[in-house]
Structure formats: structure tokens, C-alpha cells
Amino acid sequence: NLRTMTADKAVSFEDSVDTTDDSSSSLFDPASLLPSPTTGKSTPQPNRSATKAALDALLSDTLRPSPCNVFGSGPLLVSDIPQSARPDDSNDTKNDTSATKSSSGGVIMGIDEAGRGPALGPMTYGAAYWHPTKSQQPIPPDFNDSKQLSAEKRQVLFRQIQSHDDIGFVLRVIHASEISRNMMRKTPYNLNAISHDCAMEMIWAVLHAGVTIDTCYVDTVGMPDAYRQKLERVFEGYNINFVVEKKADAKYAPCSAASVVAKESRDAIVQNWKWSEMPNFIPQSGHEFGSGYPSDPKCVQWMKSNCNVDRPFGFPDFVRFSWGPTKKLLGEGPDAAAAAG
């Protein structure tokens, strides 16, 4: 049971939702953002209104599961399943795992991440999918080469994804605390392994929802061939054509759409971040940390200003403790360099 720690008590993830805004909290079940305790499967949202409400809550940080600051995984949002992506009743193959299962009529899917390198904030994984011939609405043409898009254009595309009846999507948020905890275990669970597992988690979520995947485009993490072979082994029998390439988000529309989901979601989470250390806690300089990359002078200054080696954890949980610059500051103290000079 994922739990969140406040200053004076532990509360369940479900109870941590701010229900003062009935327009959002009444539309979706917060428990749907966690795997079922009985089946281990994630639950898709029942409709697009619930999908938007759940996404708004995640991105506004209304229900950030600070429990992952202690243990457990961050949230996994599975949108409602588009009608055009559902298999025909006469040819329902969702429970057929034989190698002879036909993938004709399946969706095309893309997977990409955002925020792999920063020392601050979460890494997000996005997936997007649609049926190439059954879609009732035209798929926006601007998904290709999403990295070249302006921030304003990405925001427009993100809104189009959310409102498009024929586009399904998945969002997995890996908070800094989850990354730190896994990478600093006695036997490290490295970032590549975390990334691979998050991608597979999203694929399983779509398959468990009854969607047949024809082709899945993945922006590679590590060597493309080795990653593709790993995916083929894990999903053997589902007859999925995996295309794993560098810069896949600039080549394949579903991967570009996934990139938009991941990047826009991360940007919103970072912008709306609420500090969980104690009530009304605001770190020095607040959200003025620039890009969050260790090479960014604003990020460096923010980390120096907020490194307090006299506190139990040294930094707010927004910081990735497994990153080199974080370890250096905690080991030497923020004034070590100045004193040495």
C-alpha cells in the first residue's frame, strides 16, 4: 500500500487527494493510478473526462504520491481506451498469447521519455497509440520531429492528444526519490534498467486493457538491437513488431506524440511542484532552478543554496541523491569550494 508521509502522520495515497475541487476528484478513482493489489494490473480510466481529471490532478501536483518518497513506485496513468483501438468482438485476441496470433488490425504505439539527465525533478515516460485505419478523426500531422517544435506548439499538441477520441496514452512518473532509492540500493538498479522496465510496464498496461499492438516504436535507451531483443523476449507470443532506434521521436509519429506527453507532463509537474518536507515549506529561491541540469548555473546555485548537511536528508526530495553533483555537495558541503579557494 503506497503511503505518503506528512509532518505529523502517514496517510494513504487515496486519502491524500485534495477533494475540495469536486470537478476533478469526483471524476476518477485515485487508486486507478496504482496497480491493483490483487491482479497487479493497472486500470484504464473509464472515459475521457476521467482521463483529463486524473491527468490534471497529476500535473497540478494535487495528488503527488509523496509515498514514493518512502517506498513504492510513482503513478501510472492509463487513459481511457479509444473505441477505435478496441479489437472487434469477433476477433478478440487479447487473451491469445500464441505465436500464431495475427497482429493485423492492431494499433501503432510510440514510447519516449523526458527528464533523464536533470539532477532535479522526475523522469517521465509517455506512450501514445492509435489505430492507423480505424480512427474517426484525423491524427494531427505535426507530431513528426517533435523536438523541433516550440513550447507553444507542443502545448497545443498535448491538448489535442487529451481531447482526441482516437488517441490513447499512458504516463509513468518516476519521481526523483524513486530514482535515488533504486540507484543507491546495495545492488544498484540503474537508470537504464528503470527506463526499460517503465517502457514495458506501459506496454503491459495497454495489452492488459485488451488492445492489440501491431507495431511499437521506442526511442532507445542503450544499444538499440539489445533493447529490441529484450522487448521481443518479454512480449514473445504477442506478435508485436518492435522498432527501437535512436531519435525515434523525430522519425515516427506515435513516438513523437509520446515525446509530447512525456515532456509536457514533466514540465507541468516541475512547474507546479509542491514541497512535501513540512507544511508551508519553501526552499531558498523556490522554483528558480533553471533547467534542473547540473550544467545550468541556476541549478548549481539552487542546489548550493538548499544543501543543508545538518538536516537528516540534506536536500528536499525534489533532488536526485544518486547524481554526482548531489553527492559532492552532501559530502563536502555547499561552502567547501569557496573555503578551499
pLDDT of 117-151, one tens digit each? 999 999 999 999 999 999 888 898 888 666 678 88
pLDDT tens digits for 213-232? 999 999 999 999 999 999 99
CA distance linking residue 71 with residue 333, whole number of Å: 27
Beta-carbon contacts of residue 129 (< 8 Å; ≥ 6 apart): 85, 107, 108, 109, 110, 167, 168, 169, 206, 211, 213, 254
Burial annotation 177-197 (CB, 10 A radius, 16+ → b, else e): bbbbbbbeeeeeeebeebbbb
Count of other CB atoms within 10 angstroms of residue 145 = 14
112 is an annotated ligand-binding site residue: yes
pLDDT tens digits for 68-110? 455 668 899 999 999 999 876 534 444 443 333 334 479 999 9
pLDDT tens digits for 145-156? 666 788 899 999
pLDDT at res. 33: 85
Domain residue extents for the chain? 75-271, 297-340
166 is an annotated ligand-binding site residue: no
pLDDT at 304 over 60: yes
> Would you give the DSSP letter of residue 80?
P
Q: What is the average pLDDT across 173-177?
A: 92
pLDDT at 67 over 90: no
Mean pLDDT score of the chain: 82
Of 305, 242, 265, 99, which Cα lies nearest the Cα of 175?
A: 265
Count of other CB atoms within 10 angstroms of residue 238 = 22
What is the phi/psi pair of residue 57, to 5°? -65, -40
267 is an annotated ligand-binding site residue: no
Runs of H (alpha helix) within the chain: 22-25, 48-59, 151-163, 176-183, 191-208, 224-234, 253-271, 297-306, 324-332, 336-340
Lookup: cell for 51 = 482521463
Looking at the chain, the whole-number percentage of residues with pLDDT higher than 90 is 52
Beta-carbon contacts of residue 98 (< 8 Å; ≥ 6 apart): 237
Would you say 182 and 195 are in contact if contact means Cβ atoms under 8 Å apart?
A: no
Query: What is the fold, at CATH topology level, of the domain defined by 75-271?
Result: Nucleotidyltransferase; domain 5 (3.30.420)
pLDDT at 311 over 60: yes
> Would you give the DSSP letter of residue 263?
H
pLDDT at res. 213: 98
pLDDT at res. 286: 79
CA distance linking residue 283 with residue 276, whole number of Å: 11
SS (H, E, C) 145-198: CHHHCCHHHHHHHHHHHHHCCCCEEEEEEECHHHHHHHHCCCCCCCHHHHHHHH
